[in-house]
Chains A and B, each alone.
Chain A
Amino acid sequence: MPSRRTPSGHKADEIQSMSSRFRTSYVHCLFGVPLLWVHLAVAQTTPSSTELQVISPAKQYPEIADLVRANKWTDVVRLTGELHRADPANPTVLYWAGTAHLQLHEPVAAVQAFRSAERLGLDTALLHEGLGLAYYDLNQFVLFEEQMKKAATSDPNDSKPYYYLGFYRWTIRSDPSAALEFFEKAIHLAPNDWKSVYQSGNCLEQLGRLDDARNRYETAISQLEKSGAHFGWPYQGMARLLLDENPQKALELAKKAAQLEPDEPSNHLELADVYQRLGNLQDAIRETQIAASTNPNDSKIHYALFKLYRHTGDPRAQSELDVFKQTKALYDSD
């Protein structure tokens, strides 16, 4: 299954909305699956586990804390179920149940557990963040925004709500100006948060402020190199900005992006662009083929491949054009 949209990182489908060139939205949602009792966990995503491990109320329950540390979310669900039956008035248990369901891509159950915790008096930034992310997974963006604002109010030093709000404004609403404001707030609170720094650069690039964008990408890359995290997007962004000015440097950066996140099709597409710019069409074809195999339902990748085939006189051009037409008709909104 193709990946999904997530505030905590970038997955395959995000290529469209997150890269400068392609910005269309697509995701499935709860309300598009109308039959009764079909599997309801149609979550787009949950945040990466590392982001929720900062949640601390588990100290009241060392057995939960152990399972959380081990990322054993199914066991957390089971244990919190038992604990809840024994102590139904304790919101912390419900909070952890919600967190575990979120991690397991069960946003309906997550919302219900978080809401129960809230009704029992829990009112922390982390609760609101978790609940907001569960709403996000269900495409309930009005409620998502409300929860993130509550989280920001509950803990004014927490940068994550602003990051999530910016991400939403950018990917769902395609509003780089509004998104940038939130990312700036996040950076103000957490200057070393390379995700926010990168995202702000991406918004700046969309807004045509290319020097500012470059500055942000460079900062994000510098922060990433200190952290050792596998996050290729700032490299991809820099490669894009340097394509005309310094294609050899762009090649180095695009390769780095693809190396860091080889499953991300847009990295291969960017690398293909650079190869094409350098006149290396065979490598450009190879990278575009990788992108197409990783994200076979993206019409724009097939169009890029068709153009390359046509340019090189490759007989596969016609069949690739057919695939482009088919995917465009099926998947692209008008």
Chain B
Amino acid sequence: MTAINITRRLLAIFFIAGFGPCLHLSAQSDALVDPGKTAQAKSEEEFDKYLEIVTAPDAPQVLEKANAFISQFPKSDLLGAAYQYEEHADQLLNNFDGMLTAGRQALLRNPNEVSTLLTLAPAMASRAGGRSDREELLFQAETDARHALEEVETQRISRKVSPQEWTVQKHQMQAEAHGALGTVALQRGKTQTAVREFKTAIQIVPNPQGIQFLRLGLALASTPSKNEARENFRRAAELGPDPIRRSAAKELRKLSDKPTSQ
């Protein structure tokens, strides 16, 4: 499988999956543990404008409101949150460069924000191929994914979240980070590492998704383990959703022409 092929397939998976599983994090910032550490608006006007971002009904309006807020209140303590909104809006609008810029700005202000790290890392890993800044993006994706894994381990959480709920969330985040690391490895042609990371991502969650088996199948398809690749594509096809099912079927057809080595 050529590097270009891998890149194209990863991109396809990335878009199919809607930029990866949505992470509903219950614990991210110090403010969750200590409300006194919450970023404070300095004026009512500033907070009014911030709430316009929060309540904007769709991604284009979020972008518009966030940009207006950022230019009007460049020294606001709420800037990190505004950039996070912008990042997610760009993500939904498939504006990768905008998402990257906004995400980096958000991380400048809240460097340990796991949700931002885990939004950026898979996106950079999947979209690095064919770009002039490919190596930089892959390096950054790997760095962010590893940073997220470290942060998740030491995270303090809200008492509203039970240890059991947190374990589920934590495993989802870890799976996402391992998925990003696997994608980075695949982009770099390090297939065994990719297989290991994708397998970890699958093992760590109780109910893995179709996309995770599709990615693993894709990595395995580059190795002699064609049967195992087929098994994973079949599993992806079973789990779906439809776009994943179609991709898995396509990969299975491709493999059917190749000799079995396992």
How does the 8 Å CB contact mask read for A37-52 relative to B, with 1 for contact and 0 for none?
0101000100000000
**Quick check: B38 and A108 within 8 Å, CB to CB?**
no
How many angstroms between the C-alpha atoms of A141 and B41 in the bound complex? Answer: 9
> Among A36, A327, A330, which residue has its beta carbon within 8 angstroms of that of B88?
A36
How does the 8 Å CB contact mask read for B91-125 relative to A, with 1 for contact and 0 for none?
01000000000000000000001011000000000
Chain B binder among A24-32, A76-84, A86-94, A306-314: A24-32
Instruction: Please give the distance in Å from A210's CB to the nearest CB on chain B.
Output: 27
How many angstroms between the C-alpha atoms of A24 and B54 in the bound complex? Answer: 29
How does the 8 Å CB contact mask read for B163-187 relative to A, with 1 for contact and 0 for none?
1001000000000000000000000
Chain A CB within 8 A of B3 CB: no
How many angstroms between the C-alpha atoms of A233 and B43 in the bound complex? Answer: 36
Chain A CB within 8 A of B236 CB: no
How many angstroms between the C-alpha atoms of A326 and B156 in the bound complex? Answer: 11
**Quick check: A32 and B29 within 8 Å, CB to CB?**
yes
> Among B33, B35, B62, which residue has its beta carbon within 8 angstroms of that of A5?
B35
> Among B22, B29, B162, which residue has its beta carbon within 8 angstroms of that of A31?
B29
Chain A CB within 8 A of B133 CB: no
**Quick check: A31 and B33 within 8 Å, CB to CB?**
no
How does the 8 Å CB contact mask read for B1-44 relative to A, with 1 for contact and 0 for none?
00000000000000000000011111111111111101111111
Given A108-B55, A140-B47, answer yes or no on A31-B156 (Cβ-Cβ < 8 Å). Answer: no
Chain B residues near A13 (CB-CB < 8 A): 159
> Among A111, A296, A333, which residue has its beta carbon within 8 angstroms of that of B51?
A111
> Among A31, A135, A295, A330, which residue has its beta carbon within 8 angstroms of that of B39?
A31
Instruction: Please give the distance in Å from B61's CB to the nearest CB on chain A.
Output: 11
Chain B CB within 8 A of A2 CB: yes
- CB-CB nearest in chain B for A144: B40
> Among A32, A38, A298, which residue has its beta carbon within 8 angstroms of that of B27?
A32
**Quick check: A140 and B54 within 8 Å, CB to CB?**
no
- CB-CB nearest in chain A for B42: A142
Chain B CB within 8 A of A297 CB: yes
Chain A residues near B158 (CB-CB < 8 A): 26-28, 32, 331
Chain B residues near A295 (CB-CB < 8 A): 159
Chain B residues near A330 (CB-CB < 8 A): 156-157, 163, 166
Instruction: Please give the distance in Å from A248's CB to the nearest CB on chain B.
Output: 34
How many angstroms between the C-alpha atoms of A2 and B161 in the bound complex? Answer: 9
Chain B residues near A146 (CB-CB < 8 A): 44
Chain A residues near B59 (CB-CB < 8 A): 36
Chain B CB within 8 A of A208 CB: no
Chain B CB within 8 A of A1 CB: yes
Chain A CB within 8 A of B89 CB: yes
Chain A CB within 8 A of B85 CB: yes
Q: Which residues of A contact B (CB under 8 A)?
A: 1-2, 5, 13, 24-36, 38, 40, 44, 108, 111-112, 115, 135, 139-143, 146, 172-173, 295-298, 326-327, 330-334
Q: Which residues of B contact A (CB under 8 A)?
A: 22-36, 38-44, 47-48, 51, 54-55, 59, 62, 78, 80-81, 84-85, 88-89, 92, 113, 115-116, 156-163, 166
7 A–B pairs (Cβ distance < 8 Å), ordered by A: A25-B36, A26-B158, A28-B31, A36-B92, A141-B40, A143-B43, A330-B166
